[in-house]
Structure 1
Amino acid sequence: MKKFKLLILLALAMVAVSCSEDDLDPNSIFNPDPQERNAFETWILENYTKPYNIDLKYKFDDVESDMKYNVTPADYDKSVALAKLVKFLWIDAYEELLGREFIATYCPKIMHLIGSPEYEKSGGSMVLGTAEGGLKITLFNVNDLDTKNPDIESLNYWYFKTMHHEFAHILHQTKNYSTDFNTISAGKYTGPGWVNLESDAVAMKMGFVSKYATTETQEDFVETIAIYVTYTDEQWQAILETAGEEGAPIILQKFEMVKEYLAESWGIDIDKLHKIVQEREQKIGDLDLGTL
């Protein structure tokens, strides 16, 4: 027993000596210096973060990405241009209609830009954007943005219909719409089979504004919002004409429920939002998309 106690004392003494001889590193592992920002990051701070508490991420961050897909980082200059377009066509449009407090309160707190699209392995469909729990919106295919001659139809297809679509998800996930909407096209939803529909025209004749709207009820709801807001009056009328006598009344019934939901739940007049967006779309040629 005495020998065992002696061994313990010797071990403790050796630990004490070794600890006393180790010099602690005086440098903290945390960097107390202010973050160095490039010109774009300073612009993001002033135009996104401070007024709206939005963290716009354009540098590739694998933590923010879906590991199931191989994607490429967003180009710096394309990211600058898209950030300016999103501010003008989406953030400022809602602010014009509802004020800064609304967009600062309900907008996603992270916007993530990815250079390439994501492709589904099954079916080959393309992911244009994602919204995650109301906290983050991801936009893809940034590197295909034409910064010299931006075309509004291309912008809407790749980015802004997606922005309104995903933001509509955030709104209904916060305040749900009436389940009566789900009964209008009950039994007609296709699930993943939407990619097999021959065309949008086929979906329109069924009472949907697009092929993707046939996926399920929530996608139908937000597609109706996104397409009405971003499409011109002529394009919206073309949808109704294509839908015909069977499809058009169904689309209009869904639209009236969407319109009522936005007005009663959020104070959003979708007709005024549509007008604001359309007016702004006509001015994109006047924007300087390269200068910060």
Structure 2
Amino acid sequence: MNDLNPDVPYNANTELDQWLKANLLDVYNSEVIYRYSRYHHEYDRNITPIDVDRVQPFMETVIGGFANPYVAVAGMPFMKVNMPKQWVLYGSSSYSSTTVYWGSAVGGVRVNIFDLNNFSKSNTSLVRDKLGTIHHEFTHILNQRVIIPAEFREISKSEYTGDWQNMTDAQAQNLGFMRAYSAQNPMEDFADMVKYPVVWGPSWFENLIRTRTSAAGAAALRAKEQSVLQYFNSGLQIDFRELQKKVQLYLKDTIKDPEVTFPYWINQGLYRTVTIAPDDQMYQDYGSSDVFNTVYNNMKTYMAGLGRTLLNMQLRFNTPNSLTVRLNYLSGTSAFAADYDFAFATNANTGITTFTKVAQSGTTGSYSNAQIFVSGFETTIQAYLTSGTFIADWIPLSAPASVYAKIAGFTKSGEPGNYFYGTLGQTL
């Protein structure tokens, strides 16, 4: 075997070699092997060498979406100790008789990454896939330092199977796994429970939970999430949510991956409400916009003049293209709602968002209540929302990682100090 891919001797000190030395070897004592050598993979496989033009873009992604986030949350000494000492890069996948392998961790010191000849930083799904492989394999390395919690092994103990290859991902997810591959043993299960929430993100994970047809499967996924959090936060002294946030921001801001954005998940129907309550402590802690506060308080004053107390404002996404702005208020001690209908559009790639007032879809109940305040609403909140375009995003970024993807909002285009945000909800 391997007669198609003769070994390529190490015979040059190219510009690429110098870059790898400066950014990986000198920083982390981590060697990148990209010249083909059969020594580093299984003897019975034919694996294509990596195209040299793919090496630096891929390792830039490793640094940006893996090494830098870990350094930021765990510190450089941690990464100098735990960073894989060898990265071996291959162009094609590695095929056994039954399985396609995208990566492997060897001896706690080496990571093999396959299927890189199609890699491009402009292909966001490929970047996500490769970063997922890296975080998965690195978790195996961490598990050799700190073992998997005993309680994690028990959550799906009766569901692990050697027949996982005959299981669909959807079937596996309803049993409490991220995918069929996870169902083979606790080690792969745990690595995937790190991989997907960190790289695909907290919203992806919430959507997975939301769409499970099995309550037991959803409960198992929640239990595993908590076990992973405990493992990182206590066992490794690493803030898992902060790691998650750092990777998500890299994918959003550097790679421009639309599938980790707030607009994308609005359009997917995951988030149905944003509740804005400027009197809440959250806005004291994380900041707020004076421009929006003035608009909101003017409406609050208008309602107070009519004997009502404004409690909060809620955006309610009826569909990805329509929403209702609900004002929740008190009349005396009784709670009521006033609803105003808008057309809504948000671009998953740019976040550019428009609000357009449309005809009310009802005349009774909350729509009847809306008529009481319509004059004040038109000159305050309606005028504000329809005054131009906004950018939808996870804001404010100054908020702690524990609430990343749990709060979000909209910033007026070109006006960074003009924004509003609130707590996200998944049901109307």
- TM-score bin (small chain): 0.7 to 0.9
Quick one: which of 128, 144, 151 aligns to 2:102? Answer: 128
- The answer to whether structure 1 residue 173 and structure 2 residue 147 are counterparts is no
Q: Could you tell me the TM-score, scaled by structure 2's length?
A: 0.55
Is 54-63 or 240-249 further displaced after alignment?
Answer: 240-249
For residue 212 of structure 2, give the secondary structure of its aligned residue in structure 1.
Answer: helix
2:224 to 247, 254, 261: 254
Q: Which residue matches 1:29?
A: none
- Of 157, 160, 163, which aligns to 1:186? 157
**1:22 aligned partner:** none
Question: In structure 2, what is the Cα distance between the partners aligned to 1:85 and 1:146?
Answer: 10
Deviation at 1:146, TM superposition (A): 2.6
- 8 Å CA contact 1:175, 1:265 repeated in 2: yes
Shift of 1:243: 2.5
Which has the larger helix fraction?
1
Q: Write the distance in 2 (CA, Å) between the matches of 1:176 and 1:284.
A: 33
Name the structure 2 match of 1:144. Answer: 118
Give TM-score scaled by structure 1 length.
0.80
Q: Residue 284 and residue 68 in structure 1: after superposition, are their counterparts in 2 closer, same or farther (change >3 A)? A: farther
Does residue 154 of the first structure (1) align with residue 126 of the second (2)?
yes
Is residue 91 of structure 1 aligned with residue 67 of structure 2? yes
Instruction: Map 1:96-135; keep pairs closer than 5 Å.
Output: 96-121=72-97, 123=98, 125-135=99-109
* Aligned equivalents of 2:227, 2:19: Cα separation in 1: 39
Whole-angstrom CA distance in 1 between matches of 2:222 and 2:27: 37
Correspondence for 1:236 among 205, 208, 229: 205
Higher relative contact order (CA 8 A, sep 6+): 1
- 8 Å CA contact 1:182–1:217 kept in 2: the answer is yes
Q: CA deviation at 1:100?
A: 1.3
The one-letter code sitting in structure 1 at the alignment partner of 2:34 is: Y
Residue number in structure 1 paired with 2:48: 72
| Inter-partner Cα distance in structure 2 for 1:65 and 1:235 | 33
Equivalent pairs counted in the alignment come to 245
| Structure 2, gaps ≥5 residues long | 1-10, 257-428
| Paired residue type of 2:211 | T
**CA distance 1:67–1:100, change in 2 (3 Å):** same
Q: 1:207 aligns with which of 164, 176, 179?
A: 176
1:223 paired residue among 185, 192, 201: 192
Give unpaired runs (5+ residues) of structure 1.
1-34, 287-292
Measure the CA separation in 2 of the matches of 1:242 and 1:186: 23
> Which segments of structure 1 move beyond 2 Å, counting only runs of 4 or more?
283-286
CA distance in structure 2 between the aligned counterparts of 1:156 and 1:194, rounded to whole angstroms: 24
1:98-117 CA-partner distances (Å, limit 9, x unpaired)? 22111110111000000000
**Change over 3 Å in CA distance of 1:172–1:45 after alignment to 2:** same
**Inter-partner Cα distance in structure 1 for 2:68 and 2:203:** 24
| SS across alignment from 1:249 | helix
Higher percent of residues as strand: 2
Q: Distance in 2 between matches of 1:210 and 1:270?
A: 21
Query: Which residue is equivalent to 1:283?
Result: 253
Maintained 8 Å contact 2:120/2:127:
no
What SS does the aligned partner of 2:117 have? helix
1:205, 1:242 within 8 Å by CA — same for their partners in 2? Answer: no
